[in-house]
Amino acid sequence: MVSEKEISELRKAIGDLNVFTDKPTRMCYTVTHGPECLLHEDYLEIFLPDAVVTPTSTEDVQKIVKFADKNGIPLVPSGGRSGTYGAEGMRGGIVIETKKMNKILELNEEDYRITGEAGVNMMELISYLIKRGYMPTDYPGSEEICTLGSRPAVNGYGYWENRWGPAGNNIYKIEVVLPDGSVIDVGRGSNKPTKSSTGWDLMNLFIGSRGTLGIITKVTERFTDYPPAEHYGEAAFGTFKEGLEAYLELKRSKYSNNLWRVSCSVDEESYSEQTIGKPWPKEIAMVVHYSIYGLQYEVDGMKNIAEDIIKKHNGFCAPEVTEITNWWDAHSREWKGLYKKVNVSLGIATDVFSKHINADGYSAKPIFLDPNIPDSRLIEWHAKFRKHCYDMENKEIYPNLANCTIARDIGRVLPGVLGFNKTWATIHVYRKNMNKKFRGEFLDWYKKYVELIFECDGAIATTHAWIPRDLEVEIMERNMGKNAYKLMKKIKKSIDPKNIMNPKIIF
């Protein structure tokens, strides 16, 4: 526990208005978008931090880290809290809320670099660039709430990943406060926002580290000119196989310079009545969406190629597809925030899923799964994944799990890095119906889910890195490989010998 004397010392260091110990504030930092709380009856006690601090500068972060290092107090950095793993609070620890560090520090138009503090809201950064005629190459799906510092911390996914890759590919320099309180600027082999072959690419050590090696305080990203022409297209498919074959052909590297985004959506029938007021056509199994950017002649040419690919795989137009796309687009602008979108989606889900589960209007906690599957195994994986998710609803297999879970969006697909795919499912869990047996059944289901991923040569997660804590060490070791896992622990111990930086069971 952090003592009153230590709290007083912290208040003197960074100011009384930047230290919070009241329980309502601390409760806001217990859990994240993630589902770990579902597996612990006493989750509030486990994840409730002793304090929350709100630094306003790198110097404040240094003071906090030096204080924590001296007293052996764990630190958990917090961005927009839209991830599913890494920002949970912990008993005896302090959460560092970075949102007061929210300045865009430099726009270098000649060199296509933008630098900001860790707490800069990504939607504000994106709007800042677009107003000046530029397009961010890192465009997160949770742009309304996630922060710039979180992008390297989680190596986040982006809308334009088919063209520009994940967040880490678009970041060229970061400032980090290390566990001893020292500050380093690291790029790709130098302290400049570019590649250099003279030194190690130390920046990549922090990409995806989720605050376990240091606190990221500044980030420099690249951007590009806003393309002069664009086109959005979509098509329906009667079978998953046809839709996936079209998707795989569209995402090939020879098209990616102009086809920045391609995706597959499924299970639209779950929301059709509540959104566009009509049943979803039974002949539509999957919808493929794509976005093309470039010069006008490039967009026109790629549009013709995309339409030929869709026709080749028996794709067709359906008015319901356009209607539901327009409905979500219109309401997304109206809601002005991802949490609002999530809440409305859960409200619709509660209404729809009450036909399957007696939830009494009780809203659900979503579990997001996004394994990374190679192109060569995608069609095979898709069929196995859907079956396994529906097993969760089968009372003969999982009687307690089936009483409180519904699986939807099973097999939604987005490009990952070249040759791989972020596949998706959302599990809605109604906590009101949960019991102790639910947790055991869920862990059994999750183990089998992991085996399916490894059978198809996939990796556990593309972005949402959550693994149940009871299984974390075992699965992390398999996912990384034993020797790589040992090396990760050695690096952690070398940089953070007291294990104060977001300490995890895996270390």
Domain CATH for 402: 3.30.300.330
* 420 CB-contact burial (10 Å; exposed 0-12 / middle 13-18 / buried 19+): buried
Note the pLDDT of residue 43: 82
Q: What is the 3-state secondary structure (H, E, C) of 72-101?
A: CCCEEEECCCCCCCCCCCCCCCEEEECCCC
Residues 266 and 375 placed together within one structural domain of the fold:
no
- Is the distance from CB of 241 to CB of 313 less than 8 angstroms? no
Residues 113 and 199 placed together within one structural domain of the fold:
yes
In order, the DSSP letters of 241-305 are HHHHHHHHHHTSGGGTTTEEEEEEE--THHHHHHHTSSPPPTT--EEEEEEEEESHHHHHHHHHH
Domain CATH for 244: 3.30.70.3450
What is the pTM (predicted TM-score) of this model? 0.92
Whether residue 492 is contained in a domain is answered as: yes
Q: Which position has the token pair 């989720």?
A: 210
- Is the distance from CB of 452 to CB of 388 less than 8 angstroms? yes
Domain CATH for 16: 3.30.43.10
Residues 19 and 59 placed together within one structural domain of the fold:
yes
Using the 3D structure, point to which of 257, 286, 318 is the last residue of a domain: 318
Note the pLDDT of residue 279: 86
The half-sphere exposure of 90 on its side-chain side, counting CA atoms within 13 A, is 18
CA dist., res. 270 & res. 217, Å (int) = 42
Note the pLDDT of residue 352: 47
Residues 72 and 127 placed together within one structural domain of the fold:
no
Residues 313 and 359 placed together within one structural domain of the fold:
no
In order, the DSSP letters of 149-206 are THHHHHT--BTTHHHH-SGGGGEEEEEEE-TTS-EEEE-BSSSSSSB-SSS--THHHH
Whether residue 143 is contained in a domain is answered as: yes
Whether residue 506 is contained in a domain is answered as: no
Residues 43 and 146 placed together within one structural domain of the fold:
no
- 3-class SS at 406? strand
DSSP β-bridge partners for residue 220: 115, 173
Closest CA to 260 of 308, 287, 235, 224: 224
Residues 399 and 453 placed together within one structural domain of the fold:
yes
Q: What are phi and psi of 97, to 5 degrees?
A: -90, 120
- Is the distance from CB of 467 to CB of 426 less than 8 angstroms? no
Distances from the Cα of 49 to the Cαs of 125, 138, 181, 246, in angstroms?
Answer: 30, 31, 21, 48
Note the pLDDT of residue 354: 47
Residues 253 and 306 placed together within one structural domain of the fold:
yes
Note the pLDDT of residue 463: 87
Q: How many domains does the chain have?
A: 5
Whether residue 507 is contained in a domain is answered as: no
Per-residue pLDDT 10s for the chain (507 aa) are 899 999 999 999 999 999 999 999 999 898 877 788 888 888 888 899 999 999 999 999 999 999 999 999 999 999 888 877 888 889 999 999 999 999 999 999 999 999 999 999 999 999 999 999 999 999 998 888 899 999 999 999 999 999 999 999 999 999 999 999 999 999 999 999 999 999 999 999 999 999 999 999 999 999 999 999 999 999 999 999 999 999 999 999 999 999 999 999 987 777 787 778 888 899 999 999 999 999 999 999 999 999 999 999 999 999 988 888 888 777 665 554 444 455 455 455 544 444 455 555 555 677 889 999 999 999 999 999 999 999 999 999 999 999 988 888 899 999 999 999 999 998 888 877 888 899 999 999 999 999 999 999 999 998 888 899 999 999 999 999 999 999 999 999 999 999 999 998 787
Q: Which tokens hold the place of 323?
A: 């209607």
Residues 178 and 218 placed together within one structural domain of the fold:
yes
Give residue 40's domain range: 4-97
Note the pLDDT of residue 353: 47
Whether residue 505 is contained in a domain is answered as: no
Domain CATH for 156: 3.30.465.10
Closest CA to 101 of 250, 242, 217: 217
Note the pLDDT of residue 339: 47
Using the 3D structure, point to which of 97, 113, 128 is the last residue of a domain: 97
Using the 3D structure, point to which of 174, 193, 225 is the last residue of a domain: 225
Residues 43 and 128 placed together within one structural domain of the fold:
no
Residues 305 and 285 placed together within one structural domain of the fold:
yes
Note the pLDDT of residue 86: 80
Note the pLDDT of residue 150: 94
Direct distance between the N- and C-terminal alpha carbons of the chain, in angstroms, rounded to an integer = 21
Whether residue 323 is contained in a domain is answered as: no
Residues 413 and 489 placed together within one structural domain of the fold:
no
Note the pLDDT of residue 430: 83
CA dist., res. 224 & res. 113, Å (int) = 9
- 3-class SS at 51? strand
Whether residue 331 is contained in a domain is answered as: no
Whether residue 326 is contained in a domain is answered as: no
